Amino acid sequence: MSSNILIINSEDHAFGTSTNFTVKLPFIIENAKSLTLKHFRGPNLMYNVSTSNNSIVFTASSTQYTTTINPGAYTSNTLLNAITTALNTTNNNSFACTINPTTYRTVITCAASVTFSWGQSGSIGGILGFTAGTTGTTHTSQNAPDLAKPYYLYITLP
């Protein structure tokens, strides 16, 4: 059984765009019973914060607030800065978000006691490492933040 190696580069497309294209093969493939994708390389353009995990629900002084973070590809620093800004814009309670350098857990502090509802649908709590709601002026996540999401890339080959 003979095998050929075929390298397809989106820059060499016959027509279409760089993300949806058709290529002209340099040789004819006859009587192929199967094809195997051995390697795929693509840019990581996936957001770790999307509309399905970008909300923060909290209660301060008996009032419930909801704020959202814009979807995007965040580092830990840019995400914590975005959350600090969103929280203080929604309810100016001197919120500050940091990562504990020893435990690598997310720490959110505020001037007055608040309750975060991290279990709400669409909550960003899982990315920050929170698994349960917290109440107080200092909120420490149960786990380290996980910005590696999404974990899977699905490729459909006809």
Please list the pLDDT of the chain residue by residue as tens digits (158 residues). Answer: 566 677 777 777 777 776 677 777 777 777 877 777 777 776 666 789 999 999 999 999 999 999 999 999 999 999 999 999 999 999 999 999 999 999 999 999 999 999 999 988 999 999 999 999 999 999 999 999 998 866 666 666 55
Neighbour-count burial of 88, counting CB atoms closer than 10 A to its CB (0-12 exposed, 13-18 middle, 19+ buried): middle
Does 8 reside within a domain? no
Residue 45 belongs to some domain of the structure: no
Number of domains in the chain: 1
Q: Does the residue 155 lie in any domain?
A: no
Range of the domain at 125: 55-140
Query: Structure pTM?
Result: 0.71
